[in-house]
Amino acid sequence: MNVKGLFFTVQKALPLFKDGGSIILNSSVSNVLGLPGFSTYAASKAAVRNFARAWTLEFKDRKSASMQ
């Protein structure tokens, strides 16, 4: 849910940022800590973190959207 929902929401939202804007993504410390019983949650939060990193680089020259 975390990853698919994030991906498809950003995909649909980007064209709406015609005059610039930011997309704020929320993650948690679980994306870097291995906690027993939270492997799926931690993996999905790591995906959110890495989407943010990749999208920041991909969209850095695009005036219509920035990733925070």
Query: Annotated active-site positions, please?
Result: 41
Say which residues have a Cβ less than 8 Å from residue 7's Cβ, sequence separation at least 6.
51
**Spatial separation of the C-alpha atoms in residues 9 and 62, rounded to whole Å:** 18
Q: Based on C-alpha coordinates, what's the Rg of the chain?
A: 13
